[in-house]
Amino acid sequence: MQHEPVLAKIEGLKDQMTNMLSQLIRIPAIGPENGGEGELKKAEELTKILHSIGFDKIERNDALDPRVPSGKRPNILAYYYGENKTETLWIVTHMDIVPAGEESLWTMTKPFEPLVKDGKLFGRGSEDNMQPLVGSIYAVKALKDLNIKPKRTVALALVSDEEHGSDYGIKHLIKQQIFHKNDLVIVPDGGNETGDFIEVAEKTILWIKITTSGKQIHASTPDKGLNAHRVGIEYATSLDKLLHEKYSMHDELFDPPVSTFEPTRKDRNVEAVNIIPGEDVTYFDFRILPNYDAEKVLADAYALAHDKENRTGVKIKIEKVQETIAPKPTSPDAPIAVMLKETLEKTRGFKTRIGGIGGGTCAAYFRKADIPAVVWCTVDEVAHQPNEYAKIRNLVDDAKIFALMASS
């Protein structure tokens, strides 16, 4: 196949891609854990777009979830059949996004009012994950517009619930046996500014909720109560120090090359300044190198909590919020890794790097199911930040890579 017509066609679709990205940013798709209604409205809009492009087959495989108004979390599968129907290239992106966060920090535009400026498209979800989602759709559109039948079937999976564990998204689809051992899977949900980094491994993810229970009292009489907030702070600080010192191994495959143990969310406790809290809730986000056993890390947290209880009289409850045990990495010699490496180096003229990350993606669940998967896209890594943006050049150029991988 001649590459030049495909590359030129995608370049000519730049304005359409930008408009579609803007259109999707205007439709929030936030999970119920963060007070949202889920992905249905965005899925319905995307289904219309996919039908207009003319995929050979479009289907929904929804997961039931009574926490959202529709009672379901949508997952869209769209197929463009290739010459070899026994080989499928999957491009897996997610429809859900994280909340906007503190809106006062959005200085360029409001989170769901897209703005194009200086070659960037600002808005929540622009980079994570609408940029590659739109790019994957237009990679197929370019091939169809040129009447090019790809070498292999290219299939898009637009999934729900990636931001909060994937139970209603990719894990649901894997249980439905949608995918096969010889499938080629790329998850464009992580990368770097140059696009030369291919991710083949992830750390174990463990989120915990720590509830410290004491006795609420007026702040002027602290001796009559038990300050859960103070003990909660002390425990969190001690846990942070213990884990970083004990689990300090370096593995240069990963960036960063160490396990991380970060205190993150802090739930509201009391309404007034002059009330000593009787309950305090905080959360940690652990990203643990595969060299370590997550259960041993958790056991250390329990032991430290027990010691703190004995010395202070408070009760400390630790709950798992999310856990994804790191699966075996994808081999750099796996067909999907080799294909992506060769396409990038031939098209962009640089040497690629192979490595692991601390972030969690859908690729981990494929690897756990013994289906090799790689993570790749070209991004500035501004996901989840105020003023999140996608570079329009990255949007277009990554769509070219997707199209070439389907056809080469």
The structural domains of the chain, with segments of one domain joined by +, span 3-202+328-407, 209-324
Which CATH class for the 3-202+328-407 domain? alpha beta
> What are 114-171's pLDDT values in tens digits?
999 999 999 999 999 999 999 999 999 999 999 999 999 999 999 999 999 899 999 9
The tokens describing 198, both together, are: 């291919």
Contacts of 249-254 spanning 24+ positions with Cβ under 8 A: 249/289, 249/291, 249/292, 251/289, 251/290, 251/291, 251/356, 253/201, 253/329, 253/355, 253/356, 254/201, 254/203, 254/289, 254/355, 254/356, 254/357, 254/358
Which segments in the chain show pLDDT lower than 50?
none
| pLDDT of res. 407 | 86
Does residue 129 have a cis peptide bond before it, meaning omega lies within 30 degrees of 0? yes
φ/ψ of 87, rounded to 5, equals: -120, 125
The tokens describing 359, both together, are: 């972030």
Which CATH class for the 209-324 domain? alpha beta
| pLDDT of res. 408 | 79
Return the active site residues: 96, 162
Burial pattern 83-107, b for ≥16 Cβ within 10 A else e, equals eeeebbbbbbbbbbbbbbeeeeebe
| pLDDT of res. 393 | 98
Helix (H) or strand (E) holding 172: helix 170-175
Question: Which residues make Cβ contacts (< 8 Å) with residue 301, sequence separation at least 6?
Answer: 208, 239, 243, 318
Token look-up 């006062």 returns: 104
| pLDDT of res. 2 | 66
